[in-house]
């Protein structure tokens, strides 16, 4: 399927590995010029080179912390005014909520809510002028089905979801969509880290914790980053222009609800 976005410019935040990388790959495959971002220089540059080689697209590595003003400026300096913005960032570590002090809570809200709002503020008016914009926010299945220990992540991301619910409607007439992808368990380093923390807290082997985590997924497997990236690219497509303000849960059926 031709997604109709060849030649569009895309910034994919936090995309040197995992789900962000997969989104960047699929957008590059669709013919976009893509900014790939991460804090680790070697990894960010090697990912950009791999995606460029595999897709033939222009892929620009930007080594920057997306949570900082300087990092955000570096993203825009690399590509100018993007048509597509994929908001992504690291999630806070697994932690009992009693251990969260004020600074940790503020940092978590900045990382998983404020940064996405700041970046959207910067892209939205140029998108309105060009009458095209696609914004995808990578949040989490925990927005719908919270997981104790990831409370800060769930809270900040649910806040972002509510924040953008109104914004999405306010720009829809300009062919701008704002949607959310809610990953359940996807086989990335982040998932492995969470499973390891769970194994440690329960005092069980890592493999057992991994099997237990997989057993509760009706699909009986973890999602692949490729599946995630494909969904992201579709939400960024020309054809998805009538889908906005929506939360797409990708969890292999784990959330037990019809809606
Ligand atoms: N995988 C899952 O099953 C799952 C489930 C629910 C929610 N999520 C959420 O989905 C998001 C992506 O998860 P993932 O599994 O793809 O994570 P991941 O494999 O750990 O990858 C995280 C990526 O973000 C980059 N990054 C982290 N902090 C950054 C920062 N401040 N500035 C710029 N880049 C940064 C990392 O590169 P550097 O470290 O080099 O900066 C890396 O490229 C996270 O918010 C995660 O909490 C994931």
Closest C-alpha residue for ligand 1 atom 25:
14
- Which pLDDT does position 28 carry in this prediction? 98
Mutate which of 11, 14, 140, 144 for ligand 1? The one with the most ligand atoms within 8 Å of its CB, which is 14
Please tell me the distance between residue 108's alpha carbon and the centre of ligand 1 in angstroms.
Answer: 13
Q: Report the half-sphere exposure of 249 (CA within 13 A, side-chain side).
A: 15
Closest C-alpha residue for ligand 1 atom 1:
186
Please tell me the distance between residue 138's alpha carbon and the centre of ligand 1 in angstroms.
Answer: 10
Pocket flag, ligand 1, residue 39 (CB < 6 Å): yes
pLDDT at 194 over 90: no
Closest C-alpha residue for ligand 1 atom 47:
91
Measured in degrees and rounded to the nearest 5, phi and psi for residue 176 equal -115, 130
Pocket flag, ligand 1, residue 17 (CB < 6 Å): yes
In tens, the pLDDT along 46-102 reads: 999 999 999 999 999 999 999 999 999 999 999 999 999 999 999 988 899 999 999
Q: Hey, what's the torsion of the CAs at 88, 52, 2, 82, to 10 degrees? A: 50
Please tell me the distance between residue 14's alpha carbon and the centre of ligand 1 in angstroms.
Answer: 6
Which H helix or E strand runs over 65? none
Question: In the block, which residue shows the tokens 């949570």?
Answer: 67
Q: Which atom of ligand 1 has the smallest separation from the CA of 141?
A: 6
3-state secondary structure of 9: strand
How far apart CA 255 and CA 145 sit, in angstroms, is: 7
Which one-letter DSSP state was computed for residue 112? Answer: I
3-state secondary structure of 177: strand
Helix, strand, coil percentages, rounded to 5, for the chain: 50, 15, 35
In tens, the pLDDT along 16-59 reads: 999 999 999 999 999 999 999 999 999 999 999 999 999 999 99
Report the predicted TM-score, pTM, of the whole model to 2 decimal places. Answer: 0.97
pLDDT band at 146 (very low <50, low <70, confident <90, very high): confident
Please tell me the distance between residue 175's alpha carbon and the centre of ligand 1 in angstroms.
Answer: 28
- The answer to whether residues 74 and 128 touch, using CB atoms and an 8 Å cutoff, is no
Q: Decide: residue 163, CB within 10 A, 0-12 exposed, 13-18 middle, 19+ buried.
A: middle
Pocket flag, ligand 1, residue 195 (CB < 6 Å): no
Question: In the block, which residue shows the tokens 């696609």?
Answer: 134
- Which pLDDT does position 138 carry in this prediction? 98
Pocket flag, ligand 1, residue 65 (CB < 6 Å): yes
Pocket flag, ligand 1, residue 183 (CB < 6 Å): yes
Pocket flag, ligand 1, residue 137 (CB < 6 Å): no
Show the DSSP H helices in 56-112 as ranges: 69-79, 102-109
pLDDT band at 190 (very low <50, low <70, confident <90, very high): confident
How far CA 178 is from CA of 86, 165, 240, in Å, comes to 10, 8, 11
* CA-wise closest residue to 19 among 61, 47, 41, 45: 47
Pocket flag, ligand 1, residue 81 (CB < 6 Å): no
How far apart CA 113 and CA 170 sit, in angstroms, is: 19
- Which pLDDT does position 72 carry in this prediction? 98
How far apart CA 138 and CA 157 sit, in angstroms, is: 9
Pocket flag, ligand 1, residue 140 (CB < 6 Å): yes
Q: Locate 208 and state its tokens.
A: 């057992």
Output the DSSP codes for 122-157.
HHHHHHHHHT-EEEEEE--GGGTS--TT-HHHHHHH
């Amino acid at each position: 399927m031709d997604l109709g976005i060849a030649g569009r410019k895309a910034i994919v935040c936090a995309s040197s590995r995992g789900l962000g990388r997969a989104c960047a790959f699929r957008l590059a495959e669709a013919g976009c010029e893509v900014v790939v971002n991460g804090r680790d220089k070697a990894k960010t540059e090697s990912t950009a080179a791999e995606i460029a080689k595999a897709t033939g697209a222009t892929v620009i590595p930007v080594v920057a912390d997306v949570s900082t003003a300087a990092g955000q400026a570096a993203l825009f300096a690399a590509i100018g005014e993007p048509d597509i913005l994929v908001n992504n960032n690291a999630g806070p570590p697994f932690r009992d909520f009693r251990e969260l002090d004020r600074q940790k809570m503020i940092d978590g809200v900045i990382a998983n809510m404020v940064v996405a709002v700041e970046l959207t503020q910067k892209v939205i008016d140029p998108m309105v002028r060009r009458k095209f914009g696609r914004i995808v926010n990578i949040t989490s299945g925990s927005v719908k089905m919270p997981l104790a220990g990831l409370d800060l992540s769930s809270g900040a991301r649910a806040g972002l979801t509510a924040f953008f619910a109104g914004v999405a409607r306010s720009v829809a007439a300009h062919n701008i969509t704002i949607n959310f992808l809610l990953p359940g368990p996807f086989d990335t380093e982040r998932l492995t880290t969470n499973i390891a923390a769970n194994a440690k807290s329960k005092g069980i082997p890592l493999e057992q914790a991994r099997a237990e985590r997989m057993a509760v997924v009706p699909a009986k497997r973890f999602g692949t980053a490729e599946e995630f990236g494909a969904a992201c690219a579709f939400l960024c497509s020309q054809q998805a222009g009538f889908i906005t303000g929506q939360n797409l849960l990708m969890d292999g059926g784990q959330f037990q609800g019809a809606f």
